[in-house]
Chains A and B, each alone.
Chain A
Amino acid sequence: MTPSNARSTALMAPALAWLTALMVVPCGLILALGFFRRGIYGGIEYTFTLENFGLLLDPLYAGIFLTSARIAGTATLIAVVIGYAAAYAIAAAPRHRQPFLLFLAVLPFWSNYLIRTYAWIVLLNREGLITQGLRMIGYEGEPPSLLYTEGAVITGLVYNYLPFVILACYAPLSRLNPEMAEASRDLGASPFTTFRRVILPMTLHGIAAGAVFVFVLSIGNFITPALLGGGRFQMIGNLVYAQFLTANDWPFGAALSMALIAIMMGLLTLQAMAAERGSGDRREVADG
């Protein structure tokens, strides 16, 4: 081993040890748990079974996976549209202002997720700030039902995960060589064609990264559907929570978690592949 190899091994060791002890081992335990039977009093019977994974195909549970994917997918779409536009605007702002604008975008992360979610309850509930505002401007009808709707859940998810999209899209947008767009215009392309054929393809991997973050974080979220959805919407996260904390069915909860992790890993792998290809494209452009 060369001295520099030995040094990198030594430098990596704490991180590897940390990940092994606190990530690989617990995930392995959860995976193993999925193959055992639930005991009658909620304990675990150590007999091998595949029934927990079979149960994932039950229409009730498969339906919850689909609902979760639909809600997470909608949130992702909205977050990408809003976030990309914001990132574009930040990247187009004068260089010296960009750090401040990015700081504003991540500022909400400085406060606790739960508190921010409760703030939405204060805003949206029937006697909340929006209703009071409406009354102040003379509205006298029934207060609008904003909270405890699918819209409220999606709003909460978009709000919480939007900064990820902004950051992920800002990186490629800010690195974009302005001469590319100028060349496109000089060759006769309209602004829209320039955006569609030049800017968008070169920043697609940023969108993919942001979108995967939002989707993966949303589909496993259980706080937002519980608080902003009033428990009316069951997402996979809530289902996992219920297995561990009310049904006392840890093996089924483990199988659900593993299915969720598999979805997340699949998407993150696709995203990594897209990022790889994106950086390849950029090299080609640079080489050409």
Chain B
Amino acid sequence: MTKTSLPLHALLAGAALSVSAAPALADLVISNWDGYMAPDAVENFAKETGEAAEMVVHATNEEIMGKIIASGGEGFDVAFVSSPFAEVLNNLGLLEPIDAAKVPNLANLYAEAADLPHDPGNHFSVPYAWGTTGLCYRSDLVSPEPASWNDLLHPAEAQAGKVTLLGTDRWLLAAGFLAHGYSVNETDQAKLDEVTADLIEAKKTMLAFDDTTFYSKLVSGEATLVHAWDGWCNYGIAENADIRFIVPAEGSDLWVDTMVVLKASKNKDGAFKFINYILDANNHRWAAENILYKVPNQAAMEGLSADMIAQYPNMGMTPADLLKLEQLRDVGEATRAYAKAVSAIKAAN
């Protein structure tokens, strides 16, 4: 998942918020994370289909959720959200079922991508990007190579004070759950308490919580081992070939960012056309080549160069590899317990 909740983005989003809150004049309004699709996507889509579309940006899932829930979906046609949030929108009855007949390029998706646990058959969401979370490290500075979540939470002395953890609720807790062999969607309070205590302990050997600059810390050597999304580790690899990414032995999460169509949309045909445009092999490949995220589009991925996969080995993870991991799901009421646990972890000294 991209650009999660962080103060900086929230600040920057201030400007975006005021822009996107204005009534849209275009026939089709798409809300996406900034920079998450090709800058000329809207223009090219208009050329191909004659549909005038407008791109608005959100900084976090929570921000677009707030806007959609507040307006009942009014004012948006297509939104990019992570799958647990797509589940929530569907449960709230705000999503239009995907009309497969109007999105022929769904055929480009891997079979696995049409059968994801949150929405088997892609009835209300279409996957846009997917990946996992793991350990990103400097192979020239970390020896032996890390293999377990415990290498991150309770690092060897040489690494102490040089590890960072993701600070966002779901991934921070996932690192703890996985280290204890629990589900990344665990909701049992006793297990949550156990993991909370372990993560408080992990703070002693941690440099910082970092969701945005961890790969720069690896490049500078300020950190040697960080908790990272696969795609973001690639940004470090791009600058230093000694940086590696591994999925720990205990497994990890599968995150999926999706496209959804709002039930309140007044131009659903246009919305489906847009999703179909994105699913075109060349258009979808843009995300893989430029954001270094895996896309669940077989036709797009098969066009990636061998050099690129050699440079960024995690781009070569197969759908079968990814599906062995447990998908992050909406945890409903436990969201609140998660938030409280994370507050307790961050407040502990």
Q: Is A74 an interface residue (CB 8 A)?
A: no
Output the least CB separation between B95 and chain A (Å): 13
Question: Which chain B positions have C-beta within 8 A of A226?
Answer: 6-7
Q: CB within 8 Å of B: which of A245-268?
A: 245-249
Interface size on A, residues (CB 8 A): 38
Q: How far is the CB of B162 from chain A (nearest CB, A)?
A: 8
Interface residues of A in 218-249 (CB under 8 A from B): 222-223, 226-227, 229-234, 238-239, 241-249
Task: Find chain A residues with CB under 8 A from B221 CB.
Answer: 126-127
Q: How far is the CA of A40 from the CA of B332 in the complex (A)?
A: 7
Asked whether, in the complex, the Cβ of A245 is within 8 Å of the Cβ of B11, the reply is no
Interchain CB contact under 8 A, B347 and A67: yes
In whole angstroms, how far apart are the Cα atoms of A239 and B342 in the complex? 10
In the complex, the answer to whether B11 meets A223 with C-beta atoms within 8 Å is yes
Contact of A231 among B88, B208, B338 (CB under 8 A): B208
Closest to A148 in B: B208
A60-B343, A234-B347, A242-B343 as given contacts; A145 in contact with B161, CB under 8 Å: yes
Q: Contact string, B310-344, partner A, CB cutoff 8 A, digits 1/0? A: 00000000000000000000001101101110111
Docked pose: A242 CA to B170 CA in angstroms: 13
Please state if B344 and A246 are interface contacts (CB–CB under 8 Å). Answer: no
Whether the pair B210, A230 counts as a contact (CB closer than 8 A) is yes
Chain B 245-297 interface residues, beta-carbon cutoff 8 Å to A: none
Contact (A227, B336) CB under 8 Å given A127-B222, A148-B208, A245-B62: no
Question: From DSSP, what is the main secondary structure of chain B's interface residues?
Answer: helix
Asked whether, in the complex, the Cβ of B336 is within 8 Å of the Cβ of A233, the reply is: no
Distance (Å) between the CB of A86 and the closest chain B CB?
29
Q: Is the CB of B339 within 8 A of A246?
A: yes
Nearest chain-A residue to B340 (Cβ)?
A: A60
Is the CB of A41 closer than 8 A to any CB of chain B? yes
State A157–B221 Cα separation when bound (angstroms): 27
Give CA–CA (A148, B66) in the complex, Å.
31
B60 in the interface (beta carbon within 8 A): yes
Interface string of B31-43 (1 = CB under 8 A from A): 0000000000000
The answer to whether A245 touches B343 (Cβ under 8 A) is no
Question: What's the Cα separation between A174 and B98 when bound, in Å?
Answer: 71
Residues of chain B contacted by A41 (CB below 8 angstroms):
69, 88, 91-92, 332
Given A40-B333, A60-B344, A226-B7, verify A231-B69 contact (CB < 8 Å).
Answer: no
Q: Does A77 sit at the interface, judged by CB under 8 A?
A: no
**Residue in A closest to B208 when the chains form the complex, CB atoms:** A230
Any B CB within 8 A of the CB of A89: no
Q: Are A249 and B336 interface neighbours, CB within 8 A? A: yes
Using Cβ atoms and an 8 Å threshold, which residues of chain B touch A38? 336
The reply on A80 being an interface residue by CB < 8 A is no
When A233-B346, A234-B346 are in contact, do A126 and B8 touch as well, CB less than 8 Å? no
* CB proximity of B206 to chain A, nearest CB, Å: 8
Do A231 and B339 touch across chains, with their CB atoms under 8 A apart? no
Q: How far is the CA of A243 from the CA of B336 in the complex (A)?
A: 9
Beta-carbon contact of B347 and A241 below 8 Å: no
Cβ of A248 and Cβ of B7 under 8 Å apart?
no
Look across to chain A and name the residue whose beta carbon is closest to the beta carbon of B91: A41
Q: Are A232 and B88 in contact (CB under 8 A)?
A: no
Shortest C-beta distance, A65 to chain B (Å), equals: 10
Q: State in angstroms the CA–CA spacing of A251 and B342 once bound together.
A: 18
Given A41-B88, A222-B7, A231-B167, answer yes or no on A242-B347 (Cβ-Cβ < 8 Å): no
Say whether B244 faces chain A, with CB atoms less than 8 Å apart. Answer: no
Distance between Cα atoms of A147 and B66 in the complex (Å): 34
B17-53 Cβ-contact flags toward A at 8 Å (1 or 0): 0000000000000000000000000000000000000
CB<8 Å pairs between A and B, sample of 23: A38-B336, A40-B333, A41-B88, A42-B65, A60-B343, A60-B347, A125-B222, A227-B7, A227-B8, A231-B167, A232-B203, A232-B208, A234-B347, A241-B7, A242-B5, A242-B343, A245-B5, A246-B168, A247-B335, A247-B340, A248-B62, A248-B65, A249-B339
Which 8 residue pairs spanning A and B have beta carbons closest together? Answer: A230-B208, A247-B339, A231-B209, A234-B347, A234-B346, A226-B7, A148-B208, A127-B220
- Supply 16 further A-B pairs (C-beta < 8 A) apart from A244-B62, A249-B336: A41-B91, A60-B343, A60-B347, A64-B343, A229-B208, A230-B210, A231-B208, A231-B210, A245-B10, A245-B60, A246-B5, A246-B62, A247-B339, A247-B340, A248-B65, A249-B339
